Structures are given as structure tokens and as C-alpha cells.
Structure 1
Amino acid sequence: MPHLELFQTLAIALALGLLVGLQRQHQNARIAGIRTFPIITVLGTVCAWLAQDFGGWILGAGALGTAAIVVVANLMQREKENPDIGQTTEAALLLMFAVGAYLVTGKTAVAVAIGGSVAVLLHLKATLHEAISKLGEKDLHAIMQFVVISLVILPVLPDKAYGPYQVLNPYNIWLMVVLIVGIGLAGYFAYKVFGSKAGTLLGGVLGGLISSTATTVSYAKRSKTDNHSQNTNYNLVALVIFIATAVSLLRIIVEISVVAPATLGKVAPPLVSLLVLMAILIGFGFFIKKENAGQMPEQENPAQLKTALVFGAIYAIVILATAAAKDHFGNSGLYIVAIISGLTDVDAITLSTSRLMNNKTIDLNTGWKVIMVAALSNIAFKGALVAILGNRTLFGRVALLFGISLVAGALIVWLWPESFALDWFGKVAGNTLTSQ
């Protein structure tokens, strides 16, 4: 290794040790601080260098020596009147020794990322403890259910196509379940933090992340309960429902970017156009009235295994129906599936269509139109829910916002030039993909 690289490695080891040591010194850690951590990190680097010439036993001896230092330091602490004996600083010392060694044998960027993460993790002790203390049994249950869904079930599923048209891949189907449940769970925990304080904008955003349909149902039912209340601001309740619907459209764009990123530059413009219109309507709504719409209704845990299984079943049915419709009726059959699927779960048709576009089974112009039709069907369905479950005043406000969106979306599907859909913004995305 050239001398310059040797000194660069030493400098990085020293800097990472100083960074973690600074944090420990600031917290008055008695085991190790601003001097001990850089020494241990550099020790790991030196041991790794020596191991290259004299064998790996030197690296093992260095690790054992570091562990011995930790043990002796703890024994000395026991003799004091108020011993401060923990495990965090000790574990950090051992890890930083390993980071110093990894600088020699592994990727420098990875070692730097680990060292920086250690410093941040140590610094966030109070924040993390406070966050954990706020978790209830229900919240912990949600996390463990997501672990089962993503880390237990997903890895054991076969990555192979089955059934008619060879489109039912258990691994891919469940991967989409993990994606949708993950988005919902992120919104759910954001709700746990901000739910009681969420205003109109945040309430709608969180509702769209968790479930725009569930948010629509909750607020519609509440409007009927508060039918005789003089304090109910139906303009802002309608705005919350509309914001949740707009976020669900943004969620569709995110899902496409995850499943079929190469198509995003060509598929996104018409969807973004409708989203921009909805954003303008939201801004106009805030301009008229600025009062708070009230506290968000209680949200359900989106990581329940039953919910995941239901979505997995819906997604499997949709991709099978999509393949069958395309086979028997051509592209026109896809729009029928989109309308029906949009009534229940727009995520399923979005993900299945994105995979078809990614595999070049359908052309991009047809793909974005199918997704748009499903989104419009979902908007119409939510409007019907408000009409059935809410009062007339709220439905009038929602019908106006949804009606403008439906007309605009239909015009986009009908009039959007194919060449414009392929060229605008697609050139930028294409250049980005080429450069990568």
C-alpha cells in the first residue's frame, strides 16, 4: 500500500475514533472518551496491517486485548462509590476496533458510514428512549407483525411463476405486500406522533399514507355524528379527505418509481399533471378557510397479517385478471380490470401494471392510462362513500372537489398526446438513467 494511502487510512481511523470519543466524553462516559476511542480505532487499523504479514492471529489478539481493557475498566468502576457500569460504551469500543481493522480490509465508505452511525446512535440515546417509552403494546405488536411479513415470510417464498399465464410469483406478490404495508406503517407511526396535533394538511397527508379510503370513511361517518354541531367546518373536513386522496395519487407515483423506475420519466407527467391540479385546489381551499379540521380519527394498524393476506390475495387476483383480460380482450380489457380494481384497492392495479410496463408486456402509453383510470375509479368510489356515510353538506363540498378532479383526469386520458407523454420529462429521466 502506498505511503499516502497508509496515512489516509490512519487519518480516517483517527477521525472516526475522535468523533465517537467526542460524543462519549460529552456524556461523561467513565470507561472511554476523547482519547481512548481514537487509540482503540487506530489499534484496529494497525493490527489489520500486521495481520497481512504475520497472520490473522494478531487481529484476534488485538480484539481480545481490547475486550480485556473493557473488563478491567469495569472492574475498576465497581470499586467506586457510585459505579457507572453499562454496556453501550464497551460495545462501542469493540465495534470501533473492528471499524479500524475494516478500514484496511474492506470498503472505506462502509467503515466511515458505520463509524458515523455509531456516533449518531450514541448521541440519540435520550431521543430513542423517549420514543420507545411512548410505544404501547399495540405499536410494538405492529412492528413485530411487519417483521413477520418482511423478514420471516418473504425470504422463504419461492421466486418462481405458477398458474395460468405464469404470472403468479409468490415472492414478487409478497414483495408488493411488504412495500404497501411498509408505506402504511410509516404513516401509522407518523400518526402516533402527530395524530392528536395534526391539522388539516398533516391529517390529510397521514390519512393518505395509511389509507385514503379509511380516512374518507372515518371523516364521513364523523360528519353524520356531528350533523347538528355548529362548530363543524365541513369545508376543511372535505379538504382533509381531498388531501388524503391527492396523497394517494402521489403514493401511486412512488410505487411506480419503486417497481418500474425506468418507465417513470414517461409515465409520470400525466399523473403529475392531475396531482398539480389537485394541489392547486388544496391551496385554494386553504386560502378560503384556515381553521383546524379537528383531531384525526383513530387509525388502524396497517401491518396486521390479515390485512397483508387480503392485499396479497387482491394483488394476485388483479395480476391474473389483467393477464386474462389482455389475452382475451386486448388493451381494452385492461381498462375494465382497472375500473373494478380501483373500487377496492388502487395499489394492486398500480403495482401489477407497473410490472407489465417494466417487462414491456404493455406499452407505456396504455400503462399510465390504465393506472389513471383506476385512480379515477377510486376517487369516484370514495365520493360514493361520502354520499352514503356522510351528510349532505359534506358531500356537496367533496363532490365539487372530486368532480373537478374526475373531469380533469378524464380529459387527460382522452386528450394527452402520446408523443408528449413519451418526450416531456422522459428525456431528463433517460439522460439520468444513461449516466448511471
Structure 2
Amino acid sequence: MTHTLDLAGAAAALGIGMLIGLERERRKGQGELRAFAGLRTYSITALLGYVTQQVGGGLLLGLIAGCLAVIASTAYWKSQDKDPGITSEVTLLMVLVLGAGCGDAPERAIAIGVVVAGLLAYRDKLHNFARIQLTDIEMRDGLLLLIVALVVLPLAPDRFIGPYGALNPRTICTLTVLLMAVGAVGHVAVRALGPRYGYVVGAIASGFASSTVTVAAMGQIVGKEPQHLRTLAAAAIFSNIATVTQMALILGAVEPRLLSQMAWPLLAGFATTALYGAALMLRAPTTAASQIIKVGGAFDLKLALIMVLTLTGITFLSSVMLHHFGQVGVMLTATLSGFADAHASIASIAALATSGQLSLEAASIPILLVVSCNALSKCLVAWVSGGRTFAAYVIAGQVLLTGAMWLGTLLR
């Protein structure tokens, strides 16, 4: 059967070969010590893979790959006393496969080619990270996080079980993964930026996943690094910036008119949080450069499980109260659900306003109740995870945030 070669696919294959070949050419060396393949070899191999796949299909591609493997093995055998690595040989086979893939899915092949080129270009940094910067404890924590996120979480049933139907195994596992991930994000940020700014940057980023979990993670670190108490408290407060931002995004997406009505309360809460967090940062002691990188685990699994149980208990209590007292209006529903998740409750209230079941004027109070209950939940989590002093800083910040939003609503 005759196939028409697509020039766009051929161009994609050539681009992949030239990109990877250019990187290999720079490391090829000169004279007798040079590597066996460079810019031209990788470019031709990519085109060979593309043409072979288009003309002969998978069978011919397999035969060509076998021949190429023999050539690469011979080249490796000749140079193994000088360079024991097989990166170039494996990469050559990868280029052949990527070139073949440009016929059916050129975008995917190009994306993989760029990743491969990046891995090759950052070889020294990756080796330095794996051998020097990454500790055994961090390696263990990283593997544990991947196991829980990729193995345990997908297997957890996504249904409500137990008394009052309040417990969802998938939700519990998700909270555990979030808490572990927040700790890992903060740990990486601290390793990169130092404690003074790393915790804050990590907390703001993690706050978009869960501000409550971020507060718990910062409280956990206080037990190990009490000298960074104010910095960690400021990071916990700064995670509310993500909460306020998400509130604005949810309201704007579900009911833009409600966002316009809540603009002043949201701005007041955002500004108050930023100012209070900055004040704590200014009072925080600076850390010497020699003490910036602290070797340790990325998270504490025991404390993470304790915090997950605490949050699950709050959810269970809310379900019990709803079961016994019934639906007494949006106020009670928002109050109880806000302890566990502010964003879902706010989305529900905005949806009620959109459908006309709740007026825009009446929707403000339930939203503020959600914020208030969620702030109370964060205060409890801060006390359990970080102790009295840490909780005092967090409670003051949450009171200021909540008060500013209520005041903004009353004065608008």
C-alpha cells in the first residue's frame, strides 16, 4: 500500500532529531574520545524512524530498531573503557521511536522530545541533586508520597459510609495526600529560598489546594523549628490570600453580580491578611545563610494523620448536627459545611443566588458565615498542630481577616 508522507510530520521528526542532536553534539567531544553520535546522526535517525513507520509500519520499524541497537551496542563496547554510560545509545533509540511517532501524534512526540532534551541538558544538575542535595529521608518521603497519591488514593472507594453517611474514604485519603504534598511543597521552597521566604511562598501556593491543611502543615513544622515560629505563623496567615482569591474566582464564575457585591469585603480581607502577615514577617528574626538549608524530612506522616482525623471529626460533627436538627435554612447549612470546606459552600450559595432561590442581598451573610466558621476551624487546627503560641498568632490573623470582611459588608 502506498502512503503519502506528511511534510509536517517529517519536519517535526527533523526538529526533534536536531534538538536532541544539538545537545549531544555539544557533549560529543573531539578526537578519539568523541562520542559516536552527534547532530547529524540524531537528525537522520529521527527521519529514519518517521519514514520507516510511514512506509513499512511497525514490523519494519522493529527491524530497523534491532539493527540500530546492534550498532549502538558496538559503539558502546568500543568506548566502554572511556565512558561507561549508555545515555547516548539509549537516546538514539528514543529518537528513532519519537521520529516514528511524528506520523500519528506529532504534538506528543515533540513534547517528549523536549523533555528528553531537557533531561540531557541538565545532566550535571540532576546528578548533583540526586547525589548531594537529596537526602535519604527526603527520598523516603518522596516515595511515600507517590505511593499514597498514585496507589492508595485511586483504590480508595469514593462513597459515603459509616454513621450519618459522613465519612468518605476517598476524601480522607485526599486530605492525607494534600497535607503531605503541602509539607513537600513548603520543604522544597525552603530549600530553594530559605526559611524566611520559602515557607511563605510555599504556603501561598499550597493554600490554593487547602488553606486549612496549609495551616496544619505550618503548625507541624513549628515543633521541629521553633526558631521560625513567627515566619511559620505568617506563612499560615498568608495562605488565606489563596482562600480569598479562590472565593473571588468562584463567585465570578458562578454569579458575577454576587462578586461585584462582595468586592469590598474581599478586598478588605485580602488587604488585612497581607498587612498582618507582613507585620509578622518584619518581626521574625533573620536566619544566617549557613542555617538556611535544613536537612530533614519533607513532612511528618504521623502528624498528618492526626490532622486528617481532626478535619474528619469536624465533618462528622457537622453531619450529626444536620441529621438531628434538619435543614433550617441556608444559614445553618453554610455554618456547618464551612467548618470543613469554604469553597464548596460558597459555590453552593452562589448557585442558589443564580437560580433565584436566594437574593443577592441575602447571600452575603451566608458567605460571611462560611468564612467565619472556616476561620474557626483553622484556629482549632493551628492549636492542635502548632501549640498555644503559634495558635495565638494564627487566631489573631483569622479574627482580623473575618472582622475586616464583616466590616466591609456593613460599610459597603
Q: TM-score with structure 1 length normalisation?
A: 0.69
What is the distance in 1 between the residues matched to 2:171 and 2:347?
Answer: 10
Cα drift, residue 351 of structure 1: 6.7
Instruction: Give the alignment of 1:250-399 within 5 angstroms.
Output: 250-252=241-243, 270-271=265-266, 273-282=268-277, 292=286, 301=297, 303-327=299-323, 328-329=325-326, 330=328, 331-334=330-333, 337=336, 341=339, 348-350=340-342, 353=345, 368-377=367-376, 389-390=388-389
The answer on whether the counterparts of 2:50 and 2:99 sit within 8 Å (CA) in structure 1 is yes
Report SS of the residue matched to 1:104.
Answer: coil
The answer on whether the counterparts of 1:203 and 1:296 sit within 8 Å (CA) in structure 2 is no
Cα drift, residue 61 of structure 1: 1.1
Q: TM-score with structure 2 length normalisation?
A: 0.73
Distance 1:297 1:89, change over 3 A: closer
The answer on whether the counterparts of 1:13 and 1:45 sit within 8 Å (CA) in structure 2 is yes
2:153 is the counterpart of 1:154? yes
Task: Please name the residue that 2:127 is paired with.
Answer: 129
Cα drift, residue 212 of structure 1: 3.5
The answer on whether the counterparts of 2:368 and 2:405 sit within 8 Å (CA) in structure 1 is no
Cα drift, residue 184 of structure 1: 2.4
Task: Please name the residue that 1:7 is paired with.
Answer: 7
The answer on whether the counterparts of 1:383 and 1:402 sit within 8 Å (CA) in structure 2 is no
Cα drift, residue 105 of structure 1: 2.1
Distance 1:378 1:309, change over 3 A: closer
Distance 1:256 1:122, change over 3 A: farther
Instruction: Give the alignment of 1:201-212 within 5 angstroms.
Output: 201-206=197-202, 209=206, 211-212=214-215
What is the distance in 2 between the residues matched to 1:352 and 1:372?
Answer: 12
Report SS of the residue matched to 2:35.
Answer: coil
What is the distance in 2 between the residues matched to 1:366 and 1:390?
Answer: 31
Task: Please name the residue that 1:44 is paired with.
Answer: 49
Amino acid at match of 2:240: L
Cα drift, residue 15 of structure 1: 1.0
CA RMSD of aligned residues (A): 4.6
The answer on whether the counterparts of 2:13 and 2:50 sit within 8 Å (CA) in structure 1 is yes
The answer on whether the counterparts of 1:154 and 1:175 sit within 8 Å (CA) in structure 2 is yes
Distance 1:57 1:101, change over 3 A: same
Given candidates 240, 247, 259, the residue that maps to 1:249 is 240
> For this pair of structures, how many residues does the alignment match?
382
Report SS of the residue matched to 1:158.
Answer: coil
Cα drift, residue 206 of structure 1: 4.3
Amino acid at match of 2:40: R
Deviates more, 1:209-218 or 1:274-283: 209-218
Q: Deviations over 1:181-215 (max 9, x none)?
A: 223211122223444xx33x444444665844564
Task: Please name the residue that 2:58 is paired with.
Answer: 56
Task: Please name the residue that 2:93 is paired with.
Answer: 94
What is the distance in 1 between the residues matched to 2:376 and 2:128?
Answer: 43
Deviates more, 1:272-281 or 1:64-73: 272-281
The answer on whether the counterparts of 2:179 and 2:217 sit within 8 Å (CA) in structure 1 is no
What is the distance in 1 between the residues matched to 2:172 and 2:284?
Answer: 43
What is the distance in 2 between the residues matched to 1:41 and 1:60?
Answer: 14
Deviates more, 1:160-169 or 1:118-127: 160-169
Cα drift, residue 36 of structure 1: 1.1
Distance 1:18 1:298, change over 3 A: closer
Task: Please name the residue that 1:77 is paired with.
Answer: 79
The answer on whether the counterparts of 2:17 and 2:45 sit within 8 Å (CA) in structure 1 is yes
Distance 1:250 1:304, change over 3 A: same
The answer on whether the counterparts of 2:218 and 2:236 sit within 8 Å (CA) in structure 1 is no
In structure 2, runs of 5+ residues without a counterpart are 29-33, 207-212
Report SS of the residue matched to 1:105.
Answer: coil
Q: Deviations over 1:363-384 (max 9, x none)?
A: 8867743541134325655898
Distance 1:148 1:260, change over 3 A: farther
Distance 1:31 1:221, change over 3 A: closer
Report SS of the residue matched to 2:38.
Answer: coil
Cα drift, residue 19 of structure 1: 0.5
Cα drift, residue 173 of structure 1: 3.5
Report SS of the residue matched to 2:37.
Answer: coil
Distance 1:367 1:71, change over 3 A: farther
The answer on whether the counterparts of 2:335 and 2:366 sit within 8 Å (CA) in structure 1 is no
- Identical counterparts, % of pairs: 21
2:402 is the counterpart of 1:410? no
Amino acid at match of 1:25: E
In structure 1, runs of 5+ residues without a counterpart are 227-235, 342-347, 418-436
What is the distance in 1 between the residues matched to 2:251 and 2:148?
Answer: 23
Task: Please name the residue that 1:175 is paired with.
Answer: 174
Amino acid at match of 1:122: L
Amino acid at match of 2:178: L
Cα drift, residue 97 of structure 1: 1.1
Distance 1:215 1:6, change over 3 A: closer
What is the distance in 1 between the residues matched to 2:336 and 2:176?
Answer: 20
What is the distance in 2 between the residues matched to 1:354 and 1:176?
Answer: 20
